[in-house]
Structure 1
Amino acid sequence: MTATFIGRQVLATREDGRYVVVQAPADDAPALEAVQRACFPDLSEEEIATAGHFLSHQAHFPEGQLAVLDTDTGRLVASSSDLRLKVDFAHYAHPYLEETGDNLFTTHDPEGDWLYGADIGVHPDARGQGLATLLYGARHDLIRRLNLRGHVAGAMPKGYGAVAHDMPIEQYVLEVIRGERRDPVLSVQLKRGYGVWGIIPDYLEDDSCRNHGVFIVWRNPDYRPEAG
């Protein structure tokens, strides 16, 4: 029997049952915007995802729009947004808004064989609860269900801004890969099995990473080419 919470199918659950992952419907759009603004106060207004953007995400690819609910309160406390793309690994360096169709997901390709991680955020009030891990697990489950090649994203190296005057971004990323330096975003993603493919200049407008993105890749170990 499929588990549900307030009428929604539960896609993943924290071990103690306190938090669940569900598909985000249209009614969640205002709450999704609230989480986005709380998570990314340094993002420019042009790049922040509003309720209207989230509605567009849901219209183009509803399966890729996930939310975490607190089962005690029903409050939406975290979310992730994904779309499907065909990836040209020789030309991966694209600005975020170009890759996501101005954050509307008009670039979603129903035949795309990679899941592109446009966004993930946990409200500051709910951090440290393993919610990002829940969302990544649900994303990887979706990749397996759809038999996609894997997951790609532009990670924000948010620790770089503090040391940018001391080193180029290439050196910073290399030190993070080697474990010589910890980045609050990239280090966590590397521990989840993602690898660094390259650096994206002018990926987005955020001073904490000096506008850089890091193109990361997780390959689906269960991908079946013959079933694609």
Structure 2
Amino acid sequence: MYHSQFYVFDGDKPIPVTIRNYTQEDFDQLIQIQSECFPPPFPSELWWNKEQLSNHVTFFPEGALCIEVDGALAGSLTGLCVNFDPNHMEHTWEEITDQGYIKNHNPNGDTLYIVDISVRPKYRKLGLGKLLMQAMYHVVIQKKLVRLLGGGRMPGYKKKADTMKPDQYLQEVMAGNLKDPVITFLLRCGRRPIGIVKDYLEDEESCNYAALMEWKNPFFIK
């Protein structure tokens, strides 16, 4: 199981941080974090429920991580294992994550697929999302998987959809001509895009598109 303690800095002040696996005792707080990260008009029925969270810690506890800042729960990152064929990339978030219930978790899969990442808004200046992602890279290495993968929303695309296709928008973000809140963050985490999928998630800001963002295990040997 995962347990790492270190410090982050708020200005010049070091603050103790712990990344660990979340457990049943954290469920209420994890649902509260979802409500803060995805406030109305985002539908509350799409926040985590306790059945989903129970499945996460039962089917793949290694992929259920949370982060504490000075003892307060500040965010979480959840994944499952799947087999991924780069030649057949089309899928939806609901299909590949079993609508967040991860009953399709494959212990023999070659890819750790990100289900969700959430960080309380008041803690986002501390870079906790990147730290959670790096912790999940450790899981990929430990389990000797090929890659970490997930669909990245493109919430800036709606404003550009009249003038460019989604792949052109992604290219502009990659070139540094545009900044996207999600894709730019994932690039900063070390992920790289391998393709665009349509109808990935009902997401008006992204026009339902997502960029598949990959991190390859540098120690993986075929």
TM-score scaled to structure 2, two decimals? 0.90
User: Per-residue deviation at 1:110?
Assistant: 0.2
Partner of 1:112: 109
What are structure 1's unaligned runs of at least 5 residues? Answer: 1-7
Is residue 129 of structure 1 aligned with residue 122 of structure 2?
no
Q: 2:136 aligns with which of 139, 142, 164?
A: 139
Residue 48 (1) aligns with residue 47 (2): yes
Measure the CA separation in 1 of the matches of 2:43 and 2:95.
15
- 73, 79, 83: which is aligned to 1:86? 83
Deviation at 1:132, TM superposition (A): 0.9
Residue in 2 aligned with 1:75? 72
Q: Is the 8 A contact 2:5 2:16 kept in 1?
A: no
Report what 2:61 is aligned to.
Answer: 62
Q: Which runs of 5+ in 2 are unaligned?
A: 9-13
Match of 2:27 in 1: 29
CA deviations 1:62-110 (Å, max 9, x no partner) are 1100001122xx3211100011111011222211011111210011100
| Amino acid paired to 1:52 | E
- Partner of residue 20 from structure 1, selected from 18, 21, 39: 18
Q: Is the 8 A contact 1:149 1:220 kept in 2?
A: yes
Q: Which residue of 2 aligns with 1:189?
A: 186
Task: Provide the C-alpha distance between the structure 1 equivalents of 2:57 and 2:209, rounded to a whole number of angstroms.
Answer: 27
RMSD between superposed Cα atoms in Å: 1.8
How much does 1:43 deviate? 4.3
**2:201 corresponds to:** 204
Paired residues in the alignment total 216
User: Residue 12 and residue 220 in structure 1: after superposition, are their counterparts in 2 closer, same or farther (change >3 A)?
Assistant: farther
| 8 A Cα contact 1:32 1:51, kept in partner | no
Q: What percent identity do the matched residue pairs reach? A: 30
- Alignment match, 1:10: 3
Are the aligned partners of 2:56 and 2:101 in contact in 1 as well (CA < 8 Å)? yes
- Counterpart of 2:161, as a letter, is A
Report the CA distance shift for 1:180/1:57 in structure 2 as closer, same or farther (over 3 A).
same
User: In the alignment, does 2:168 pair up with 1:171?
Assistant: yes
